[in-house]
Amino acid sequence: MNGVCALVTGASRGVGRGIAQGLYRAGATVYASGRSIETADLDDAIVRVACDHSDDQSVDRLFERIVTEQGRLDVLVNNAWGGYENMVEDGRFTWSAPFWDQPLWRWAAMMDVGVRAAFVASQHAARLMMPCRRGLIVNVSQWAAQKYHGNVIYGVSKAATDKLTADMAVELRDHDVAVVSLYPGLVRTEAVLAAGVFDLSNSESPEFIGRAVAALAGDQDVCRWTGQVLVAAALAEHYGFADIDGRSPRPLTLTDV
């Protein structure tokens, strides 16, 4: 992946951090953005850019820096998300509340910081990729787009992400820019490990998701996937890579979640 320039949003921790690490270790020049990116556990050579993806001017400055320093962008990974904050409010776990009891701030956080942030970043990226007639936009999504997953707003936002992928792919197809939704499995993020309640026997490291993105970015025929939902572990089987511990997680399906 030498010569490839990538941007990973929401890379301060968890899946985003793992994707940034995976792309860097595959040889890409990586920009990692997020509100708390300065304290992220990332390789020193990864370019950290503090960015609030709910602030359009902050996003403008991020892309202006990439253009100034690199003159191009080959891969965008939209991982920035909102709505996970304050799951407990006034002593009550509101995340799993029925939709009629959901705080309205959570809708704004997921749709604006999540879906809208992906849309805005993709606008910037498309303008850079189209003249080169090559590029890859990856929207990190989840099975909640297709099946109830404990929170109506979460499901709506992830379904919107997958629709964003499908429709952007239509408009970018003639420019040879691929757009995909990527579903991780159970990822050993900091939050998952801290919870201590999950069966990790079929789990994935955050870096495993990075290897999936790196495999896509290195595929000269990546446009065959455009508009599709892809499962990280299924990509591992297709491209022949394993997790950082040498294991091969089993791909999940809709019936598994």
Q: What is the DSSP string of the chain?
A: -TT-EEEESS-SSHHHHHHHHHHHHTT-EEEEEETTGGGS---TTSEEEE--TT-HHHHHHHHHHHHHHHS---EEEE----S-TTSEETTEE-TTS-GGGS-HHHHHIIIIIIIIHHHHHHHHHHHHHGGGT-EEEEEE--GGGTS--S-HHHHHHHHHHHHHHHHHHHHHGGGTEEEEEEE--SB--HHHHHH--S--TT-B-HHHHHHHHHHHHT-TTGGGGTT-EEEHHHHHHHHT---TTS--PPPP-GGG-
183 is catalytic: no
The span from the CA of 118 to the CA of 121, in Å, is 5
The pairing of beta strand 92-93 with beta strand 5-8: unpaired
**Length of the chain in terms of residues written:** 257
Rg for the chain, CA atoms, rounded: 17
From 24, 31, 154, 183, active-site residue:
154
Catalytic residues: 154
